[in-house]
Amino acid sequence: MSMKGPFISEIAKDTYAVNEYGLAAMYVVVGTERALLIDTGCGLTDLKAMMAGLTDKPYDVVLTHGHLDHVGGLGWFEKVYINEGDWEMARSLDFEELRNYCDQLGAMGGYEAYDYNRDMVKEFTAFPEFINIEDGFVFDLGGRKLTVTTIAGHTKGGLVLIDDQSRIMFSGDCANTNTLILGTSINTALKGFLKVRALRDQYDRNFNGHIGYAGAPNCFSQPESVPEDLIHLCKLVLRGEDTPTMQMFLGSERAGMNYNHARMVYDREWKLDPGEEMLDLDMI
Segment 30-63, tens digit of pLDDT: 999 999 999 999 999 999 999 999 999 999 999 9
Q: Rounded distance, CA 261 to CA 256, Å?
A: 14
Length of the chain: 284
d(CA 172, CA 65): 7
Contact call for residues 108 and 158 (beta carbons, < 8 A): no
Element housing 206 (H / E) = strand 205-207
Contact 167, 203 (CB under 8 A): yes
State the pLDDT at residue 177. Answer: 95
Could you read off the pLDDT of 214-230 as tens digits, one per residue? Answer: 888 788 999 999 999 99
8 Å CB contact between 37 and 62 = yes
The whole-number pLDDT of residue 154 equals 96
Contact 17, 132 (CB under 8 A): no
Look at residues 157, 167, 156 and name the one whose alpha carbon lies nearest to residue 200: 167
- In one letter, which amino acid is 64? T
* Residue-level pLDDT at 247: 82
Percent of the chain, pLDDT > 90?
89
User: What number is the average pLDDT over the span 242-256?
Assistant: 84
- Domain spans in the chain, listed from the N-terminal domain onward: 7-222
What's the pLDDT score for residue 253?
A: 83
Between CA 255 and CA 59 the distance in angstroms is 40
Angle (CA) 264 69 156, round 5°: 55
pTM higher than the cut 0.75 = yes
Compute how many other C-beta atoms are within 10 angstroms of the C-beta atom of residue 253: 10
- Give the span between the Cα atoms of 144 and 41, in whole angstroms: 24
Q: Which CATH architecture has domain 7-222?
A: 4-Layer Sandwich (3.60)
**Quick one: pLDDT band at residue 3, thresholds 50, 70, 90?**
low
1, pLDDT greater than 60: no
